[in-house]
C-alpha cells in the first residue's frame, strides 16, 4: 500500500471517506466490466445550472479520491434524459408555437427552436457538453434516446417486463388510488403520434417482449418494450439504468431521497446491484427558502463567475455538502478568501494534512503554488475607496505597491480584480453609508494621519496594523472593536472591512492620509 492510501484511510475529507467505502464494494474482486462507474444525470429541458456544476464537481472529487487509493479504472457518465416527453413550453425560448405543437414528444423529436441542431434535445445536450468542457470535467456523455434505441437497455427492460408484477408491487403503494388504476412503469412511444404516452397497459406479453396499451383514442396498440419503442417512468428508469449500465456511484439532491429506495428496489429487480449513493442538501436563497429554477430565486453560475473565479465555487461545493447552505451573492467574498487561505496552508502542510485540505480535492491533488495576492475583501475595499469603474484603477494601486504583479503574470489576481470591481459596482456602491466621526474618533483619526505622515513608505502592513491597534487601546473606546468600526464606517462607508494595515499598504500611505483629512474636513465621501 502506498503512503497516500494509508493516509487516505485516516482522512476525514468526505471524498476519501466515500472512496474508501466504494472500494469495499470490490474488496474481493474488481468489477467484471473492468471499471468503476460514476454517474450524474441531467434533464435537458432547461439549461445547465449551478446545481449541474455542483453535482459533477462533487462526483469528480469522489472519483479522483477513488483513483488515488485504487488501481481499478474509473469512468464518469453524464446521462441526459433526452427521451423524456416535453410536458410544457420552457420559458424564454423562440418559436414557442412550434414547440407547443410538439408537446408530448421525446425531447430529441422536438424541432430545435434555435434552428442549429437536429432537435431541441440535441441542442440542449450540446449546451451541456459545452458547459462541462468549459470547466474541464472528464466525462463520457450518454443520451437516453440513443441508449434506449441502441438496445443497451434491452436486457434490463425485458427483465422488468418479466417481473412486471414485482415492479408494480414496489410502485403502486407510492401512488394515489386513482393513479394506481392506470399506472404502468412502461411509457410507450406512440407509433401514430410520436408522443411518450402515460397510457394504460392492458396486457404484458413476456414471450414476445411487448405490451398492449390503450392509445389516446381508446384503441389498442402493441409495441415492443425494447429498441426505443418504450421508455420507463422516471423512478423505474433510474433503477433500470443503474442495473443496465452497472452504475457503482451516484449522487442526488435531498429531493430524491424519498425515491432512493424505489430506485434501488427496481435496480435489484432488473438484475443489478444498487450503487453507492450520496445525498447532498439543497441550496437556499437569501431568505432561507429552497432555490427553485422556476422561481429564479437563486444564484446562477454566470453570476458567480462574474464576481469570482471557478475555484471559489468549487470550494463552496466541497464544503459541507450535506448541510443546507445559502447560495446568494454575499457568500462569494468569503468563499474567495477561504480558497486563498487553504491554498496558502497547503504549501506548508504535511502529507496527511494536505489530504484534508479542500484545495487537494479542487485540484486533484495538485493545486497551484500560492501567489501571495491581496485578499478579495481587501480588493473590494480598495475598489470602494477608489470608486473603481474598471480593473485598471485597482491595478494602478497594486503595481505601485507590488510591481512584480501584472495582469499578464498573475491572471488569477486579474480575475479577482475584475470580480471585485463588478461586485463593488453591483452590491457595495448602492449600499455604502458614510458617517462623520465623533469627537473621540476625530482625535484618533488625526493621530493615525500624523503617524502615517511620520513613517516612510517602507513601513510594513504589520507595523501599520500594530500602530492602529495602539491608537485604539490608548484611547477611551468602550471596546477596541468600536475603533475599527469607526474606521470602516467613516473611511469606507461599511460596517466591516479589511485589516487596515494591509489596506493602507495597498491603497498607499499618502492616499490614506488624504482620505483621513477629507473625513476630518467633513467632506461627503459618498458624493
Distance in angstroms (rounded) separating the CA atoms of residues 348 and 354:
9
**DSSP code for 189:** B
Residue 116 CB-density burial (10 A; 0-12 exposed, 13-18 middle, 19+ buried): exposed
Distance of CA 325 to the CA centre of its chain: 12
Residue 44's nearest CA partner among 109, 152, 127, 101 is 127
Q: Report the pLDDT averaged over residues 95-116.
A: 96
In the prediction, which pLDDT does 92 show?
Answer: 78
Residue 298 has pLDDT above 80, yes or no: no
Lowest-pLDDT choice from 2-11, 411-420, 434-443: 2-11
Residue 1: pLDDT band with limits 50, 70, 90: very low
User: pLDDT tens digit string along 445-460?
Assistant: 999 999 999 998 899 9
Quick one: average pLDDT of 117-129?
A: 96
In this prediction, residue 327 has a pLDDT band, given cuts at 50, 70 and 90, of very high
Query: Is residue 479 scored above 50 in pLDDT?
Result: yes
CA-to-CA separations, 288 to 50, 146, 326, in angstroms, rounded: 17, 40, 7
First to last CA, the chain: 66
Rounded to the nearest integer, the mean pLDDT of the chain is: 95
| 224-to-143, 161, 409 alpha-carbon distances in Å | 20, 10, 62
**Range with the largest mean pLDDT of 153-157, 178-182, 382-386:** 153-157
* CATH-assigned architecture of domain 3-150: 3-Layer(aba) Sandwich (3.40)
The pTM (predicted TM-score) of the whole model is: 0.93
Tens-place pLDDT, residues 363-393: 999 999 998 999 999 999 999 999 999 999 9
Q: Helical H runs in 255-375?
A: 257-269, 301-307, 310-318, 332-346, 351-356, 358-362
**Burial (0-12, 13-18, 19+ Cβ within 10 Å), 409:** exposed
Cα–Cα dist 116/378, whole Å: 45
- CA-CA-CA-CA dihedral for 251, 252, 257, 262, to nearest 10: -70
- Give the pLDDT confidence score for residue 292 in this predicted structure: 63
Contact 139, 38 (CB under 8 A): no
Residue 196 has pLDDT above 60, yes or no: yes
Q: If DSSP codes are grouped into helix, strand and coil, which group holds residue 246?
A: coil
> What mean pLDDT do residues 30-59 have?
93
The per-residue pLDDT for 177 is 95
Residue with cell 394506481: 180
Q: 3 pLDDT exceeds 90?
A: no
Fold of 176-231: SH3 type barrels. (2.30.30)
Query: Given a cut of 80, is residue 297 above it in pLDDT?
Result: no
Q: pLDDT exceeding 70 applies to what percent of the chain?
A: 98
CATH class of segment(s) 439-520: mainly alpha
pLDDT at 295: 58
Amino acid at each position: 500500500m502506498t503512503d497516500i492510501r494509508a493516509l487516505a484511510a485516516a482522512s476525514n475529507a468526505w471524498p476519501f471517506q466515500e472512496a474508501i467505502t466504494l472500494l469495499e464494494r470490490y474488496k474481493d474482486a474488481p468489477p467484471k466490466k473492468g471499471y468503476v462507474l460514476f454517474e450524474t444525470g441531467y434533464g435537458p429541458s432547461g439549461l445547465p445550472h449551478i446545481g449541474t456544476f455542483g453535482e459533477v464537481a462533487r462526483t469528480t472529487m469522489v472519483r479522483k479520491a477513488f483513483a488515488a487509493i485504487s488501481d481499478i479504472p474509473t469512468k464518469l457518465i453524464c446521462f441526459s434524459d433526452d427521451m423524456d416527453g416535453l410536458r410544457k413550453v420552457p420559458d424564454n425560448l423562440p418559436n414557442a408555437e412550434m414547440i407547443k405543437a410538439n408537446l408530448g414528444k421525446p425531447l430529441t423529436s422536438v424541432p430545435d427552436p434555435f434552428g442549429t441542431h437536429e432537435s431541441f434535445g440535441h441542442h440542449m445536450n450540446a449546451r451541456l457538453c459545452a458547459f462541462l468542457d468549459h470547466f474541464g470535467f472528464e466525462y463520457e456523455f450518454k443520451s437516453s434516446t440513443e441508449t434506449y434505441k441502441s438496445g443497451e437497455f434491452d436486457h434490463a427492460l425485458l427483465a422488468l417486463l418479466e417481473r412486471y408484477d414485482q415492479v408494480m408491487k414496489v410502485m403502486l403503494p407510492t401512488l394515489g388510488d386513482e393513479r394506481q388504476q392506470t399506472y404502468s412503469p412502461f411509457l410507450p412511444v406512440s407509433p401514430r403520434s410520436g408522443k411518450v404516452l402515460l397510457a394504460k397497459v392492458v396486457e404484458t406479453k413476456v414471450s414476445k417482449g411487448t405490451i398492449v396499451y390503450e392509445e389516446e383514442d381508446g384503441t389498442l396498440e402493441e409495441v415492443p418494450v425494447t429498441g426505443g419503442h418504450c421508455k420507463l417512468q422516471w423512478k423505474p428508469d433510474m433503477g433500470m439504468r443503474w442495473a443496465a449500465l452497472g452504475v457503482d456511484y451516484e449522487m442526488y439532491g435531498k429531493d430524491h431521497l424519498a425515491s432512493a429506495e424505489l430506485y434501488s428496489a427496481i435496480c435489484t429487480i432488473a438484475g443489478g446491484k444498487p450503487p453507492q449513493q450520496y445525498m447532498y442538501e439543497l441550496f437556499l436563497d437569501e431568505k432561507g427558502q429552497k432555490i427553485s429554477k422556476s422561481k429564479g430565486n437563486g444564484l446562477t453560475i454566470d453570476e458567480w463567475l462574474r464576481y469570482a473565479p471557478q475555484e471559489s465555487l468549487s470550494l463552496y461545493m466541497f464544503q459541507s455538502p450535506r448541510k443546507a447552505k445559502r447560495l446568494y451573492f454575499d457568500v462569494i467574498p468569503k468563499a474567495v478568501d477561504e480558497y486563498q487561505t487553504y491554498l496558502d496552508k497547503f504549501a506548508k502542510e504535511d502529507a496527511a494534512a494536505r489530504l484534508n485540505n479542500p484545495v487537494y480535492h479542487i485540484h486533484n491533488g495538485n493545486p497551484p503554488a500560492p501567489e501571495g495576492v491581496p485578499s478579495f475583501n481587501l480588493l473590494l475595499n480598495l475598489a470602494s475607496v477608489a470608486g473603481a469603474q474598471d480593473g485598471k484603477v485597482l491595478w494602478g494601486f497594486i503595481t505601485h505597491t507590488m510591481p512584480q504583479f501584472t495582469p499578464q503574470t498573475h491572471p488569477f489576481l486579474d480575475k479577482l480584480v475584475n470580480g471585485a470591481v463588478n461586485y463593488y459596482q453591483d452590491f457595495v456602491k448602492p449600499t455604502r453609508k458614510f458617517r462623520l466621526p465623533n469627537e473621540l474618533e476625530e482625535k484618533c483619526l488625526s493621530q493615525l494621519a500624523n503617524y502615517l505622515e511620520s513613517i516612510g513608505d517602507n513601513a510594513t502592513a504589520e507595523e501599520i496594523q500594530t500602530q492602529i491597534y495602539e491608537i485604539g487601546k490608548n484611547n477611551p473606546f468602550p471596546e477596541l472593536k468600536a475603533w475599527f468600526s469607526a474606521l470602516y464606517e467613516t473611511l469606507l462607508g461599511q460596517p466591516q472591512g479589511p485589516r487596515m494595515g494591509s489596506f493602507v499598504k495597498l491603497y498607499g500611505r499618502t492616499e490614506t492620509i488624504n482620505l483621513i483629512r477629507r473625513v476630518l474636513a467633513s467632506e461627503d465621501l459618498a458624493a
